Amino acid sequence: MAQEVKDVAAETAETTASNEKAMKRGTVLQALKAIAVLVVICLVCGALLALCNDIFYISPEERARREEAKINAALKEVYPELSNPETVTINKQYAANAMYGSVKKVVRSEDGVYIIAAEGIGGYGGSITVLVVIGSDAKIINWKISDVGGETYANDVSKHQGEWYIGEQISTDIALIKHGGATMTSTALNNAIKMASYYAMNVLNLGSNPQKDAEDAIAALLADTDYADYTFAVNSDLKYRAALSDENNAMSYFFVGSKEGASETLDAYVYNVETEAKVVILKGNLGYTARHEQDAVIAKSEDIADELVTKVQDLNYYEFKIHGYLEDFRLAQYIAITDGWDTDDARINSVCVGEDGAYVVNATGKGGFASGTVTVNVVIKDGVIADLNVESHESQSYLSDHILNIWDTFKMLFVSNGIDTKFDTTPPVDEGSTPGHTGATYSENAIIRAVNYACEYVKSLTEQGGTN
């Protein structure tokens, strides 16, 4: 009996081992089958991809031909008279301008008309590309937005195709035309027009090029100086043009010159560029006093009037120094105070009068820490202090940490007060009782003296019936 049990157990073990071997062989076979299927699938997919590539492949040459055909179709749409279009090699020197944008393509028609694909910057979403058609008479024939970029209002601006800028002479001073709700897209379009004009004037010799004439006049004046290798960029924002001109001399351009690796910049003022350009070049980034130093004027045209040089030296650019209120400031008159209005407490340096009747008074308050001074710009409109800004200071070590770091709060002591207000120069000791008390008593008093004197000066002007 025991032997029979042993025989059954051995037989069972043998059967189990045999089954396990069979299962392993089955698993291996299944794995091999799966791999074979995957290999077949890959081979089939590869063959299909190769076949599709052969069927749908577009060579670089064909892709370029199709792109060219697409562009030519757009060119034909913007200028139906286009014939035998010739792609003109772009002059890289004038292919981009930091203020306007860049040129992507230039095509010449057999009849002498040029179509320039110009990218205009300054849009809401970045830039737009515009096909600008320019005739041999240097007038704009047509334009069309070919790439809207990220401009959601481009369609609103495109509605004015065939209307805006048509027939105008190409120019980098061409006036902005804008659609009510698409100001930034309109700006991008205007910059594209300016970019096409800039390129056409400088490379294609179309129309007059007063900006280049101005640049040439500057280069000629600096040819034999240490500044001959400076590069000049035009500043298109000429809010102060009227203040720097007189009845016989119109200021045409203001350029800023720089050189890579050089800390010193130059300011170049160009007059009467349409007739015979006259130029004054000063060292840049100078304050009022430094602009009058003997070495401030780098070069000037021989026939330029001394009065114009003085105007240039006198002008201080408050438009760029005061933020907020003066963002929309338009200068109508500049007054340099050369005598009078200088006391032991304060001094009036100069005054800018805006077209809206606002005064920007540059005043220096005395009696600060270590007998130093603080110079401020006080904006006064309709008899009320509208804004206040510190321009510079002398030896006021507490000014930054105790006043400028809370300036928006501190200046409210003055803002909205009338010019008849006399501000106290002895701040209360209790800091908590007066928001304007800063702990920098001497500097604070110097500012107060400057503001008081600025108000007194404007009050004297208004009592006299305006500026003199």
Residue, of 114 and 26, whose pLDDT is higher: 114
C-alpha torsion angle, residues 365, 369, 371, 377 (rounded to 10): -20
pLDDT of 346 > 80? The answer is yes
pLDDT of 202 > 70? The answer is yes
Give me the mean pLDDT over the 181-196 stretch.
Answer: 87
Look at residue 419 in the predicted model and tell me its pLDDT. Answer: 93
How far, CA to CA in Å, does 171 sit from each of 174, 203, 245, 269, 336? 5, 14, 22, 19, 34
Residue pair 166/78 in contact (Cβ under 8 Å)? The answer is: no
Choose the weakest-confidence range: 149-153, 316-320, 367-371.
316-320
Give me the mean pLDDT over the 343-355 stretch.
Answer: 87
Q: Which has the closest alpha carbon to 286: 275, 301, 298, 276? A: 298
State pLDDT tens for residues 9-29: 555 555 555 555 556 565 667
What is the chain's mean pLDDT, rounded?
81
Choose the weakest-confidence range: 296-310, 398-412, 432-446.
432-446
Q: Where are the domains of the chain?
A: 68-202, 210-314, 318-463
Choose the weakest-confidence range: 86-100, 267-281, 309-323.
309-323
Residue, of 98 and 135, whose pLDDT is higher: 135
Look at residue 19 in the predicted model and tell me its pLDDT. Answer: 55
pLDDT of 72 > 90? The answer is no
How far apart CA 152 and CA 155 sit, in angstroms, is 8
Strongest mean pLDDT among 173-182, 194-203, 385-394: 194-203
pLDDT of 185 > 60? The answer is yes
Choose the weakest-confidence range: 15-29, 84-98, 358-372.
15-29
- 358 class by beta-carbon count within 10 Å (0-12 exposed, 13-18 middle, 19+ buried): buried
Look at residue 45 in the predicted model and tell me its pLDDT. Answer: 79
Choose the weakest-confidence range: 200-204, 244-248, 257-261, 387-391.
244-248
